[in-house]
Chains A and B, each alone.
Chain A
Amino acid sequence: MHQYVGLIVLFPLIGLLINGLLGWKIKNEKVIGSIGSGAVGLSFALAVAIFIDMLGAAPEQRSHVVELFTWIAAGSFKVSAAYQVDQLSVLMTLVVTGVGFLIHVYSIGYMHGDRSFARFFTYLNLFIFAMLNLVLADNYVLMFLGWEGVGLCSYLLIGFWYQKKFEGVTITWTGDAGNKAFWVNRIGDFAFMLGMFLIFKEFGTLTFNEVMGQADTMAVGNSTVFWITLLLFIGATGKSAQIPLFIWLPDAMAGPTPVSALIHAATMVTAGVYMVARNSALYALAPDTMMVVAIVGAVTAIMAASIGIAQNDIKKVLAYSTVSQLGYMFLALGVGAFTAGIFHVMTHAFFKACLFLGSGSVIHAMHEEQDIRHMGGLKKVMPYTYWTFLISSFAIAGFPPLSGFFSKDEILWKSFADGSPILWFIGAAAALMTAFYMFRMVTLTFEGKPRWADDKHPHESPPSMTIPLIALAALAVVGGFVGVPAVLGGGNAIHQWLHPVFAQAEKTMALPEHHAHTTEYILMAISVAIGVTGWWVGRRMFLKDPNADERIAAKTGFLYRLLARKYFVDEAYDAAVVRPVVKTSDSFLFRFFDVRIIDGIVNGAGALAGWTSRTLRVIQTGVVQNYAALIVVGLVIVLGLIIL
């Protein structure tokens, strides 16, 4: 089956071509929506078929490279449009197409009546196309194509409602948010490119298999590999919204909610995690980079979680939650638990997509109201949304036996066992905050008395929106069972599935055998206790008094302001980076360099040509005899040269 992998990528391409070129003519929303969703659905079906086919094969025969055509050939440098079908990429493909399909279906209902309906589906298909190239690529260049492609789609979709206002620090409309995402990502992409160049210099190839093959014989602590992995990780911090490049993700919520769910929660932002996991063998050779990854992940997790506590915009809370959960994933990668990281990518895709779609359903019902302080009591009005949202919240808070429990607990356990207790402590603290802000949000949104204005008439969303919610909630419930750890009597299927991909890295790192099971039980109990505590406190506090925030703010003063204003990171970047760049561009590059030097050279060239022409025009008398005389002068000169 694996040889048909090209079709998985082709279907979204066809969908985007049809909707993009003919969408304005079709006009019928049902047809456009069906084409868009159908294309992704077909890809998903094919991915499932390939997955089943791979299940039947022996573990060592599950990895294939399917070469479609030579894309770039220049001397010894050759890049093919080739797809690598292995356990990791198939898993990612399933998540991208599966969750993507559900979100496409959801979008049919959510985007109903939008005047750019076809454009929206074109972008979504383009996104799926680029994302599949990213996860299926067998070399860095094709991966980079997908990497840039998803960045472009992110930009296009954040600014999708380009006439809408959007409030943020130094931001006034959605286009600014799109630009911000694009620019911040460019920084990361640049580092990614540098890493890519360095790989080519060091290994002479850009194909994953060849690079990993050569890496197998390299010594741990190689300094070139350290720089390669660090540069690639900086690329990942851009795409996956880690410190210091996380600032774009919260503002990316300017886009339509399905976009937030698909791109800015479930799939694109996990590209960085996937990329690091794909290069696990290289990262294993650079323990210093691993340390950086783990620390950045842990700090991002707790920082974003603490910001999430003080946000009032339902999508902002979820955005910071996403940043925080991505931090967890990098924490897992940093301590060498690649499987746990990918496992969390998968479960996070389920419950975070469900949460975002649920928030979209709420926003839809509340007529574009996003402030949770003006909600409340929606439980009775929209039961499907409430229940799915609640289930997903339990999942993200890590309540057993929901999916989030298994993946998050594994990350915490690995960070304790293979990392350090400090990393575990930070992760646990972030988990506590996560549970707290999630149930603060659930309580404020769905429970208590309604606080919305009288002119709003909330209603449950249409089936095209609720069915994906139910499907995602179901996945959020059962998704974790593929990774039940051994101490709980599970087989940990996902570990065995992904083991061949990470075998090389695990061999290089040679992590010690795990501690006694008692420790693992204790930590598990602690993390469950944390989740329950967060739930109980968050629910009690805000059920009793929806304005508890104000009391806390009055008590803690500056600390609360710090969280509510997101540690002033945006302001700091604005002052430290944006303003100096703008000022330099304006006063030096524009007013001096461009106007004086560049324009001076250009105008000078024109003036010089004009002056020369005016001077030389005198000899163009139009009298043929003069020209003939000049020929004779030429003859004299040539003869003179001969004699001399």
Chain B
Amino acid sequence: MVPIHYYLILSAVMFITGVVGVLTRRNAIIIFMCIELMLNSVNLTFVAFSAYLGNETGQMFVFFIMAVAAAEAAVGLAIVIALFRNRQTVNINDVNILRW
């Protein structure tokens, strides 16, 4: 038998992997993919709890998270394209217009 802890710890490891990617990479597209990785690790948690509790709500969440992720992918990639068109780069160190 596999206790739920295994799934949770695996999910945490993948989540932190995504966090490290977001914090260290400069390529906007890779950061974007890291966010997808984080979303997926959360999905794993949801599905695991759904199975161990015998409750389908977790899988409903996963379904809606995927829908949001799809929407986010479309908009996010559009932003990347717009960014690249204006600045000829996707390196976020070159895009610090938030700075005071």
Contact = CB atoms under 8 A, between A and B. Distances in A.
B92 A621 contact: no
Interface in B46-100: 92-93, 96-100
Contacts of A623: 92-93, 96, 98-99
B96 A622 contact: yes
A323 B97 CA distance: 78
A522 interface: no
A624 B32 CA distance: 13
Contacts of B22: 625, 628
Interface in A607-644: 617, 620-625, 628-629, 632
B98 to A, nearest CB: 4
B1 interface: no
B96 A620 contact: no
A629 B97 contact: no
A620 B23 contact: no
B98 A624 contact: yes
Contacts of A617: 100
B19 interface: yes
B95 to A, nearest CB: 8
Contacts of A624: 92, 98
A625 B97 contact: no
Contact of B98 (A622, A628, A629): A622
Contacts of B93: 623
Given A625-B22, A628-B23, A620 B100 contact: yes
Nearest to B25: A625
A620 to B, nearest CB: 6
Nearest to B16: A632
B96 to A, nearest CB: 4
Nearest to B97: A622
Nearest to B28: A624
B19 A632 contact: yes
A625 B23 contact: yes
A613 to B, nearest CB: 10
Nearest to A627: B98
B19 A621 contact: no
A618 to B, nearest CB: 10
Interface in A576-631: 617, 620-625, 628-629
Contacts of B23: 625, 628-629, 632
Interface in B16-40: 19, 22-24
Contact of A625 (B92, B99, B100): B92
Nearest to B22: A628
A625 B23 CA distance: 5
Contacts of B100: 617, 620, 622
A620 B98 CA distance: 9
Contacts of B96: 621-623
A623 B92 CA distance: 8
Contacts of A629: 23
Nearest to B95: A624
Contacts of B98: 622-624
Contacts of A625: 22-24, 92
A639 to B, nearest CB: 11
A539 B23 CA distance: 108
Contacts of B19: 628, 632
A622 B96 CA distance: 5
Nearest to A631: B19
A628 B24 CA distance: 10
Nearest to A626: B23
B75 to A, nearest CB: 16
Nearest to B100: A620
A622 B93 CA distance: 9
Interface string A364-389: 00000000000000000000000000
Nearest to A629: B23
Contacts of B92: 623-625
A629 B31 CA distance: 13
Nearest to B20: A632
A600 to B, nearest CB: 29
A576 to B, nearest CB: 60
Contacts of A622: 96-100
Nearest to B93: A623
Interface in A550-592: none
Contacts of B99: 620-623
Nearest to A622: B99
A172 B100 CA distance: 59
Nearest to A624: B92
B18 to A, nearest CB: 11
Most buried by B among A617, A620, A625: A625
A624 B97 CA distance: 10
A629 B24 CA distance: 10
Contacts of A620: 99-100
A6 B55 CA distance: 75
Given A621-B99, A625-B22, A625-B24, 9 more contacts: A620-B100, A622-B96, A622-B98, A622-B99, A622-B100, A624-B98, A625-B92, A629-B23, A632-B19
11 contacts: A622-B97, A622-B100, A623-B98, A623-B99, A624-B98, A625-B23, A625-B92, A628-B22, A628-B23, A629-B23, A632-B19
In the A-B complex, the 5 residue pairs with the smallest Cβ-Cβ separation, listed nearest first, are A622-B99, A622-B96, A622-B98, A629-B23, A620-B100
